[in-house]
């Protein structure tokens, strides 16, 4: 537990600064757009109606969807900019609305007095209308700040570092301390910013320069404390630097001076493999940056555009979602065809199979399967109307489920989408009858689940492969450094490592170290 | 040396028509002599407030012309024009986020006076409207009584040393005792400073007591114009007679009670 805390603590400077820089920039730019727009629109009722409608529509798009949309809009770019753009758009409505409402709400008598005394339009704006609507505008700003700081946790999923890394990684690895870290710091940050803006407004209204100065200094201090530590290299996680130093002498430092970006999708196995590759590459002298918690297709797009250099994907996934093939192929043919296709179209290098497969399979508890007399998917057809299947939100849109459903006549089955963390527990406790399991998950053995046969070979093979971006493929030494991992991790080793995180509450770094020892023993 | 013209303000056949062919002002002639107070009286909706706003161009005329110090106001910059006229509006129109001193200093600051002159003027104006500088200068309007707010309104309107003061129901929201005191103070102030005033009011007694001349308006037209004595002696029609009847009846009733 304390090691878990130390690891989380070591991640804080990087994640906190990412979060602060992202949300502050989004709010400042959002304000620079929405306040002038609100001023312009306030005296033009028809324009005010239209801009409020547009901003309102943006606001109703769920934060996650807006973030995800920015990736293709920016040509597959992941990381800071799509997250910034989405959050900036998100911040506009409350400020814009309150600017318009605040200005329109200034007392008509006061407005007329300002004209009658001989103020010009800009004097009326700056000396009378803005000061009198300031409390309303600031209220909008505070709403925006709370929204943006909260939504910035979702930026994790498009590859921008934020406190959301704690939440998503913690959810996937059942590390509740990590989830708690993310919640506490994100909420704390929102409260601190909100209160500071409140005090700044109070200072402006009551003309207390001392208070304004004090809050300004405090705000600068909070931003400074969040951002500066991340820029000092000495603050990199102590545990990691200790291990890489001890091994640095053994590996040939062929990657010295190179920065390699490793991507990972949002589940346990991916965190462990990313940590393992990080260890290997740092041994070879490279500086490693991590982009964790990427959405499945976002990870591939990021590799293609060079936002990340290397990550682990699965043949069946690429086959179905990238190559858009409808029918599965024999595993060796699939790997060969995929390797050629990726190289030809995108210049992506497929380094080779890691040695295990993480397929989609359909799993039931041994007891329930015996009770129903089920051993294969073909046995489920007649029972489909009485059964409920749980799965991650992705699977029900994928060809695996659609293919199996149509082939085995499972259309009458009730489907329940949930986060993959919870589905194993759900089938164990009988809340659903079967689930779409990942075949390497440690909980299959631990919960005594059985995988159902697929006599029609609908489910494609999912061999784990290391993919390199075109830039990484051309880097001398990179393929050599990762080479020893190819063929070195079998299904049992991967399940063991996954189990250490999902059930034994170890961290992915600890599990990666264990996995490295297994490889070394072979 | 050229004498300034004795007529400060002159309106010639002024009209104001709103969309939908609504005629608020339907051909008004007015003239205000220097140092005098002209009351524009009439019941609600007769067009008197609109007429006032045409003079400092808060509204634009649809026809006719208005001369201020001999110049057609349509040829002047409205902002410059407004700064050269005082303006006391219905309610008080004080800026709630400015102190009393800040409110009084608005026009001098807009005119670009240096700060020492502004401060001296604020002090002088508050003394003229009989508000103690030390006590009131730093207060905000929401900490003043209705009478005090209206005194600040006068001080603010006169701070820029205007030749002409426009007032729209300046005593309308005050209780009778405060109103009477303020009316007396205002007349003394006008005698002392020598500015000219156009005052809109629906209170005929107020018009008779304060004005040098009274113009009675009805449905966008002037129905009678003259000194208070002329009006009382020979009202032009039943409407004017009815307006005069209210203060007369009150006077008679009070005289009977005192007898």
Interface mutation target, options B54, B88, B91, chain A, most CBs of A under 10 Å = B91
- Which member of A112, A117, A132 has the closest CB to residue B106? A117
Q: What angle do CA A200, A112, A124 make, to 5 degrees?
A: 40
- Which member of B82, B93, B156 has the closest CB to residue A110? B93
Distance from CA of B107 to the nearest CA of A (A): 7
pLDDT grade, residue B52 (50/70/90)? very high
**What are A246-281's pLDDT values in tens digits?**
444 444 447 888 899 999 998 889 999 999 999 999
Q: With an 8 Å Cβ cutoff, is B57 touching chain A?
A: no
Interface mutation target, options B97, B98, B102, B173, chain A, most CBs of A under 10 Å = B97
**What are A313-362's pLDDT values in tens digits?**
999 889 888 888 877 788 888 899 999 999 999 999 998 889 898 888 89
Contact B97 A131 (CB under 8 A): yes
Contact B106 A112 (CB under 8 A): no
- H or E element that contains A312: strand A310-314
Residues of B in contact with A205 (CB under 8 A): 97
What interface predicted TM-score (ipTM) does this complex get?
0.89
Q: Closest chain A residue to B109 measured between Cα atoms?
A: A119
Cα–Cα distance list, B30 to B39, B49, B230 (Å): 11, 14, 17
CATH of B7-84+164-258, one of 3.40.50.300, 3.40.50.1100, 2.40.50.100, 3.50.50.60: 3.40.50.300
pLDDT grade, residue A34 (50/70/90)? very high
Contact A113 B95 (CB under 8 A): yes
Residues 6+ apart with CB under 8 A from A467: A300, A303, A310, A311, A312, A313, A342, A348, A349, A350, A351
Contact A118 B91 (CB under 8 A): no
Q: What angle do CA A12, A14, A16 make, to 5 degrees?
A: 60
Interface of B with A in 140-159 (CB under 8 A): 156
Interface mutation target, options A118, A125, A136, A202, chain B, most CBs of B under 10 Å = A118
pLDDT for the residue numbered A522: 53
Residues B84/B88/B89/B92 CA torsion (nearest 10 deg): 130
pLDDT for the residue numbered B44: 84
Distance from CA of A394 to the nearest CA of B (A): 57
**Is B156 within 8 Å of B106 (Cβ atoms)?**
yes
pTM above 0.80, yes or no: no
- Which member of A115, A117, A128 has the closest CB to residue B107? A117
> Which class for A104: exposed (0-12), middle (13-18), buried (19 or more C-beta within 10 A)?
middle
Bridge partners (DSSP) of residue B28 are: B14
- The average confidence (pLDDT) of chain A is 86
Residues of A with CB under 8 A from a CB of B: 109-110, 112-120, 123, 128, 131-132, 205
Higher pLDDT, A154 or A169: A154
Residues 6+ apart with CB under 8 A from B130: B151, B185
Q: State the span(s) of chain B assigned CATH 3.40.50.300.
A: 7-84+164-258
**What are A426-477's pLDDT values in tens digits?**
899 888 999 999 888 888 888 999 999 888 888 888 899 999 999 888 888 8
**Is B173 within 8 Å of B91 (Cβ atoms)?**
yes
**Nearest partner of A463 among A496, A435, A436, A439, judged by Cα:** A439
**What are B149-160's pLDDT values in tens digits?**
999 999 999 999
């Amino acid at each position: 537990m304390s090691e878990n805390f130390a690891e989380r603590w070591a991640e804080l400077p990087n994640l906190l600064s990412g979060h602060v820089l992202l949300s502050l920039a989004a709010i400042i730019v959002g304000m620079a757009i929405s306040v002038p727009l609100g001023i312009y629109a306030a005296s033009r009722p028809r324009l005010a109606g239209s801009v409020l409608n547009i901003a309102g529509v943006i606001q109703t798009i769920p934060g996650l969807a807006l973030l995800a949309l920015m990736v293709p809009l920016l040509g597959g770019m992941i990381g800071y900019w799509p997250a910034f753009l989405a959050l900036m758009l998100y911040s506009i409505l409350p400020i814009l609305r309150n600017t318009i409402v605040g200005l329109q709400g200034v007392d008509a008598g006061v407005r007329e007095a300002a004209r009658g005394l001989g103020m010009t339009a800009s004097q009326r704006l700056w000396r009378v209308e803005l000061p009198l609507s300031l409390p309303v505008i600031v209220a909008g700003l505070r709403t925006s700040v709370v929204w943006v700081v909260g939504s910035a946790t979702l930026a994790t999923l498009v590859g921008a570092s934020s406190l959301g890394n704690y939440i998503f990684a913690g959810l996937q690895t059942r590390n509740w301390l990590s989830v708690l870290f993310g919640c506490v710091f994100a909420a704390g940050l929102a409260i601190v910013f909100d209160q500071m803006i409140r005090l700044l407004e109070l200072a402006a209204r009551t003309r207390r320069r001392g208070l304004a100065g004090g809050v300004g200094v405090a705000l600068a201090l909070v931003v400074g404390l969040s951002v500066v530590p991340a820029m000092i290299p000495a603050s990199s996680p102590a545990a990691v630097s200790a291990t890489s130093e001890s091994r640095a002498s053994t590996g040939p430092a062929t990657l010295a001076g190179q920065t390699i970006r490793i991507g990972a999708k949002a589940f346990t196995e991916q965190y462990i493999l990313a940590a393992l590759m990080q260890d290997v590459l740092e041994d070879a002298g490279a500086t490693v940056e991590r982009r964790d918690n990427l959405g499945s297709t976002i990870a591939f797009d990021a590799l293609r555009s060079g936002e990340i250099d290397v990550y682990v994907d699965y043949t069946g996934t690429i086959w179905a979602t990238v190559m858009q093939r409808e029918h599965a192929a024999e595993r060796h043919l699939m790997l060969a065809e995929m390797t050629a296709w990726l190289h030809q179209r995108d210049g992506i290098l497929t380094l080779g199979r890691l040695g295990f497969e993480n397929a989609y399979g359909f799993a039931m508890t041994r007891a329930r399967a015996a009770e129903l007399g089920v051993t294969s998917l073909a046995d489920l057809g007649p029972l489909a109307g009485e059964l409920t299947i749980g799965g991650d939100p992705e699977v029900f849109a994928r060809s695996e489920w659609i293919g199996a459903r149509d082939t085995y006549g499972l259309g009458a089955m009730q489907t329940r989408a949930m986060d993959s963390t919870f589905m194993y527990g759900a089938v164990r406790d009988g809340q659903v009858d079967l689930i779409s399991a990942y075949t390497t998950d440690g909980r299959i053995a631990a919960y005594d689940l059985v995988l159902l046969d697929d006599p029609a070979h609908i489910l494609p093979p999912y061999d784990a492969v290391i993919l390199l971006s075109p830039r990484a493929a051309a880097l001398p030494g990179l393929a050599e450094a990762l080479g020893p991992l190819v063929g070195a991790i079998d299904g049992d080793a991967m399940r063991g490592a996954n189990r250490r995180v999902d059930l034994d509450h170890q961290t992915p770094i600890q599990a990666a170290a264990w996995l490295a020892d297994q490889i070394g023993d072979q | 040396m050229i004498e300034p013209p004795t007529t400060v303000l002159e309106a010639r056949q002024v009209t104001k028509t709103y969309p939908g062919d609504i005629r608020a002002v339907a051909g008004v002639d007015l003239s205000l002599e220097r140092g005098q107070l002209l009351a524009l009286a009439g019941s609600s909706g007769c067009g008197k407030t609109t007429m006032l706003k045409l003079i400092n161009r808060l509204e634009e005329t649809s026809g006719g012309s208005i001369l201020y110090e001999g110049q057609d106001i349509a040829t002047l910059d409205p902002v410059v024009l407004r700064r050269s006229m005082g303006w006391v509006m219905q309610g008080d129109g004080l800026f709630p986020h400015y102190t009393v001193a800040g409110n009084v200093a608005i026009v001098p600051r807009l005119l670009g006076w240096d700060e020492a002159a502004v401060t001296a003027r604020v002090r002088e104006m508050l003394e003229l409207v009989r508000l103690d500088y030390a006590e009131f200068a730093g207060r905000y309007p929401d900490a003043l009584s209705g009478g005090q707010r209206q005194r600040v309104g006068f001080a603010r309107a006169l701070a820029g040393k205007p030749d002409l003061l426009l007032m729209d129901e300046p005593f309308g929201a005050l209780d009778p005792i405060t109103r009477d005191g303020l009316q007396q103070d205002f007349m003394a102030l006008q005698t002392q400073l020598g500015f000219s005033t156009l005052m809109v009011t629906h209170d005929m007694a107020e018009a008779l007591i304060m004005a040098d001349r009274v113009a009675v308006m009805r449905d966008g037209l002037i129905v009678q114009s003259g000194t208070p004595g002329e009006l009382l002696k020979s009202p032009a029609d039943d409407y004017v007679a009815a307006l005069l009847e209210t203060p007369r009846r009150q006077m008679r009733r009070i005289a009977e009670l005192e007898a």
